[in-house]
Amino acid sequence: QEYTALKCKVKTWSPVAEKELEGKLPAGASVYMVPATLRPETMYGQSNMFLSPKITYGVFKVTDTDYYFVTDRAARNMAFQGIFPKWGEFSKVASIKGSDVIGTLINAPLSQLGEIYIVPMDTIKEGKGTGVVTSVPSDSPDDFIMHRDLMKKPEFYNIKAEWVPKEILPLIETPSYGKLTAQFLVEKLKINSPKDAKQLAEAKDEAYKEGFYKGVMIYGEFSGKPVQEAKELVREALIKSGDAFAYAEPDGQVISRSG
Ligand code: ZZB
């Protein structure tokens, strides 16, 4: 799998994370949350960043001033893709549980909102991508249902209601599902909960297919272009501006340890 790894700079840590990380990073260092996505063309619509409360993440040194926040497993993979300075090596400066980082405010490149909050998602798999997942509720059924649940029950999730944006930005139009593909499919398949794994997998497949083969951009720099073209153009632009890099998942390594 060839992912686009997005660099989302932390602006304000949650109070717990701030305390946990004290003394572990040089003054003025930048830490980036690094979600891995297969849909760079949807980055305009990022509404939150998801971390699993159960996963312990690491903060890894890239340069004297830059650090990446990902799972240990992703850091190991990155070390063999020239992402860290020394081949095969990765240096961890801190470990921190996802639950401690909820409420952190980060910068989300290309997003209409500019800044977004980290919120919890229990279904994140530790053995896939970077364990950091950016939420695009317009086009990802998993994100849409999680977004809806977080809006409905902020107390249950122990988050502030204002961390979750109320509006969903339409990005892509498709002939079968309109301008909010994820919502359409979640309603069509009567998906009620982020735990409806089987139907969510079906909705995701369908959203990928329809979006890729028939979707047209209705937002952003490439508005009017088919998704098939925009995908690569957005990815190239993000890499060129230094806001993203390529990250590949070795074959056969996708294992779920959390689900
Ligand atoms: C933004 C986005 C927008 C995504 C969209 C999808 C969609 P896949 O298809 O199973 O290979 N993801 C990444 N890492 C994880 C993880 N560790 N656990 C759970 N979900 C994860 O999964 C790749 C996609 O699943 C990634 O692309 C990411 O969400 C999420 F409009 O990034 B995506 C129809 C899907 N639409």
pLDDT of residue 254: 54
User: Is pLDDT of 59 > 70?
Assistant: yes
Phi-psi region of 252 (alpha: psi -120 to 50; beta: other; left: phi over 0): left
Summarize pLDDT for 74-88 with one digit per residue, the tens.
999 999 999 999 999
User: Is pLDDT of 256 > 70?
Assistant: no
Q: Give residue 206 CA to ligand 1 midpoint distance, Å.
A: 13
Choice between 79 and 1, residue whose per-residue pLDDT is larger = 79
Q: Would the CB of 124 count as within 6 Å of ligand 1?
A: yes
Q: Would the CB of 71 count as within 6 Å of ligand 1?
A: no
Average confidence (pLDDT) over 233-249 = 98
Query: What residues pair up with 48 in beta bridges, in sequence order?
Result: 135
Summarize pLDDT for 14-28 with one digit per residue, the tens.
999 999 999 999 999
Confidence of residue 252 (pLDDT cuts 50, 70, 90): low
Q: Would the CB of 140 count as within 6 Å of ligand 1?
A: yes
Confidence of residue 250 (pLDDT cuts 50, 70, 90): confident
Q: Which of 128, 191, 198 to mutate to test the pocket of ligand 1 (most atoms within 8 A of CB)?
A: 128
Q: What is the mean pLDDT of the chain?
A: 96
Identify which of 36, 106, 44 has the alpha carbon closest to the alpha carbon of residue 71: 36
Q: Would the CB of 208 count as within 6 Å of ligand 1?
A: yes
Q: Would the CB of 137 count as within 6 Å of ligand 1?
A: no
Q: Which of 37, 210, 231 to mutate to test the pocket of ligand 1 (most atoms within 8 A of CB)?
A: 37
Q: Would the CB of 135 count as within 6 Å of ligand 1?
A: no
Structural domains of the chain ordered from first start:
2-166+230-248 (3.90.740.10)
Answer for the pair 127, 191: CB distance below 8 angstroms, yes or no: no
Contacts of 9 (CB under 8 A, 6+ apart): 30, 31, 32, 106, 107
Q: Give residue 233 CA to ligand 1 midpoint distance, Å.
A: 19
Q: Which of 8, 43, 140 to mutate to test the pocket of ligand 1 (most atoms within 8 A of CB)?
A: 140
